[in-house]
Amino acid sequence: MGRKSLAANKPSLSVYHKLEKAAQKYPSSNLEVLARKNNPRYNYPMQYENFITTTLKEAAEIARAKFGHVSGVMKPDDPMQVLTEADLAVGQFIISRIKELYPENNIIDEEAGVIDNGSEFTWIIDPIDGTSNFAQGIPTYGIMLGLMRGDKPLAGGTILPSLFNEIVYAEKGFGAFSNSKRINVTSEANLHRLLISYAFDYRPKDPEGVLKEAKIISNIASKSLNLRSSNCVFDAILTAEGKYGACLNQTSKIWDNIAQDIIITEAGGIYTDFFGQPMDYSNPLTKTKHNYTYCAAPSAIHSQLQAIIKPYVFINS
């Protein structure tokens, strides 16, 4: 049998997507096994990888085309946040892809808001993570797409459109990958030997909290190799790849967390709120205004960071 006829017997991606959709609808059936076995592009059976990675690649083309050619405006409800036309264009593209393949699922997009379809599956979109960087022509920005089942992250991916030709992806129980290569958090257990990422946003309504946070930052800096920050998903990727020892943030939203949570967790890290408590993603459709904090690191480093942080009053304003 010739190569052409062999290729003709392989299921098309559209067939795979139909099986994938059916598997999601009937998770206890054998359809999930069929969907994974018939994936024509990959050898390992991750159910959502093809959709997420393909969507991110296409979305990155939109972002790259607008990078350096748009300016940002302050959001009327939050003058510390910036919005560009790229956020809207990328978000609408990803929403259209989800509606095409998973029309019954819920969606949360940073700019478009909530689409409630009464599903147990919710897609979480951050169309441009690091919009302030993007608007200033700084290439440390990313696109994030995550999927939740109930209140738990199930799969997620991210891409840095203007830095590397790299897609980082993870799915629950399968590990984390960068361009199909397995990644892991650092095995270094000494905080003093590691760079730590600490994202910081000034809060004009909470000057006292800012001063308290500055003390925490100072203490972490004094007990680590040093601090770094791009204030975007770039820092989470470097943590998942073992190049940073941890990433921390006290000011974020649900779309800043879902994709990088599953990536860091599947890379072997621990992902909690800033004070080491489990992340609360319950009723995600109601959490678009909720402020999330996080502390993500390998177990040994996470424990050392918590020892530094816990004497301080929780900052969550």
CATH number at residue 117: 3.30.540.10
In angstroms, the CA 194 to CA 7 distance is 49
Compute the mean pLDDT over every residue in the chain, rounded to the nearest whole number. Answer: 86
Q: Note the pLDDT of residue 45.
A: 67
* 91 domain residue, yes or no: yes
Torsion angle of C-alpha atoms 245, 249, 254, 257, degrees rounded to 10: -10
Q: Are both 169 and 54 inside the same structural domain?
A: yes
Regarding whether 32 and 67 lie in a shared domain, the answer is no
- Collapsing DSSP to helix, strand or coil, 246 comes out as strand
Q: Are residues 178 and 302 in the same domain?
A: no
Average pLDDT of the residues in 22-29 = 56
pLDDT in tens, 203-261: 888 888 889 999 999 999 999 999 999 999 999 999 999 999 999 999 999 999 999 99
* Burial track 246-269 (b if 16+ CB lie within 10 A, e otherwise): bbbbbbbbbbbbbbbbbbbbbbbb
Predicted local distance difference test score (pLDDT) of residue 10: 35
Q: Which stretch of 102-106, 130-134, 167-171, 196-200 has the lowest confidence by average pLDDT? A: 130-134
What's the total number of domains in the chain? 3
Rounded Cα distance between 221 and 20, Å, is 46
Largest Cα–Cα separation, the chain:
74
Q: 19 falls in which pLDDT band (50, 70, 90)?
A: low
Q: How much is the pLDDT for 33?
A: 45
pLDDT given at position 316: 46
Mean pLDDT lowest among 163-167, 213-217, 282-286, 287-291 = 163-167
- Across the range 65-85, mean pLDDT stands at 66
Residue 90 above 60 pLDDT? Answer: yes
**54 pLDDT exceeds 90?**
yes
Which residue is listed with tokens 């302030």? 132
Mean pLDDT of 100-113: 95
Q: Are residues 118 and 234 in the same domain?
A: no
pLDDT of 75 higher than 50: no
Predicted local distance difference test score (pLDDT) of residue 41:
42
Q: Give the pLDDT of residue 206.
A: 86
Q: How far apart are CA 54 and CA 39, in angstroms?
A: 14
- pLDDT value for 43: 47
Long-range contacts made by residues 40-43, C-beta under 8 angstroms, separation at least 24?
40/10, 40/11, 40/12, 40/13, 40/16, 41/13, 42/180
Do 235 and 166 lie in a common domain? no
Q: Which of 158, 183, 208 is the last residue of a domain?
A: 183
Q: According to the model, what pLDDT value does residue 224 have?
A: 98
